[in-house]
Amino acid sequence: MFQANCHCDDCRRSGGGVYASFAFVDASVLEVSGETHAHQHLSDAGNTITKHFCPSCGSQVYTENTKAPSRRGVRVGLIEDASWFEPKANVYASHRLPSTPIDPKIKAFDKMPG
């Protein structure tokens, strides 16, 4: 499981924070109870991003990317006990807010790696 913090403008705005934390899991193991509302847009790399939101509270639940169709990015903030979360990367670090520190022990990428 790849774990990362995303500093892109879109993730910051859709989550209302200075960055968004994701755990990327295999789509076959993700179970979502209930419906979601989906919103699609193109990434800066030209991939279609589909964000799934809870229709009751509006929180973003998970993300799909056509570049990695077998993987889902789950918003860590929605997980009741996320004490296991240890990000391995900061992506779109070039977009981070100037006041947001980045742990120098965690790899930082200007864009999404791969």
Question: Per residue in 49-106, pLDDT tens?
Answer: 999 999 999 999 999 999 999 999 999 999 999 999 999 999 999 999 999 999 999 9
3-state secondary structure at position 89 = strand
| Per-residue pLDDT band at 23 (split at 50, 70, 90) | very high
Q: Please tell me the predicted confidence (pLDDT) of residue 112.
A: 83
Asked if the model's pLDDT at residue 24 lies above 90, the reply is yes
More confident residue, 32 or 44: 32
d(CA 80, CA 109): 28
| Per-residue pLDDT band at 113 (split at 50, 70, 90) | confident
Class of 2-108 in CATH: alpha beta
Q: What angle is formed at CA 2 by the lines to CA 64 and CA 60, rounded to 5 degrees?
A: 40
Position 107, amino acid = K
Question: Are the C-beta atoms of 69 and 28 separated by less than 8 Å?
Answer: no
Residue count of the chain: 114
